[in-house]
Amino acid sequence: MRLDFKSPIWPVLITQIVALAVGYIELSHKVKFHDAWIRRRIDVSERIARLEERMRLAEEEINELEDGMGDFHKAIKFVLKNEGGVSDDPQDAGGVTKFGISQKSYPDWDIENLTKEDAIEIYRRDFWQPYQDFEDRLATKVFDLSVNMGHKRAVQILQRALQCLGAKIVDDGVLGPITRQAVDLANVDMLLTAIKSEAAGVYRNLATTNSSQQKFLKGWLNRAYL
């Protein structure tokens, strides 16, 4: 059979063949682009997933660290429950006191008009920092003692409690690296029990040596054993 290239069907056929070829080429490009886009999207998704996993692990590490450290918000609630509003007892050596902040310690403040927010900021700035790395319950207890009887005496109580547990340290009231290491090695539950006992002893001694302070002893002992 001879092909008749003069037949009018040939131009139509060639046009269709060319159109099919062009369509095939365009489709191939689209498929390649789509595949590349899919691969890129998968790559981005994998990167996001890896980043989210890193963030999750970092958050867990932060939470673990925070779980082992003192919580100021809990501690300040504990302190403010123990400290009342305005007090001006003539037998209180601190003078006018509000939220546990005394006029004697802060002579430049108008204590009677001190707000709770002011008191909290003073406690955060001047009292909390030395104990913030302690275990939560321990940080709260020593912080509360320091508010009630001063930093040095509170640390001495902590050091004597550590001595009761066998630590070879001196009760000099200095919260240095040796005391901190002893705290890290101590059983927290046993240490807290010893601190409460030592604090009660200090309060009893204060009441015994100064009869004007005996009326405070019951409240002090309640606070010691909290």
Residue pLDDT tens, the chain, 226 long: 454 555 666 566 667 676 666 666 766 666 666 666 666 666 766 767 776 766 665 454 444 444 445 799 999 999 999 987 788 777 777 788 999 999 999 999 999 999 999 999 999 999 999 999 999 999 999 999 999 999 999 999 999 999 999 999 999 999 999 999 999 999 999 999 999 999 999 999 999 999 888 888 999 999 999 9
Per-residue pLDDT at 66: 46
CB–CB of 142/162 below 8 Å?
A: no
Query: What residues does each domain of the chain span?
Result: 1-67, 72-224
Report angle CA 152, 189, 167 to the nearest 5 degrees.
Answer: 55
Find all residues with CB under 8 Å of 183, minimum gap 6, and list them.
Answer: 134, 138, 158, 162, 191
Q: Say which CATH class 72-224 falls into.
A: mainly alpha
CA 216/CA 226 separation, integer angstroms? 16
Q: What is the pLDDT of residue 92?
A: 73
140 is written with which tokens?
């709260």
- 3-state class of 87 per DSSP? strand
Residues in the chain: 226
The pLDDT assigned to 83 comes to 87
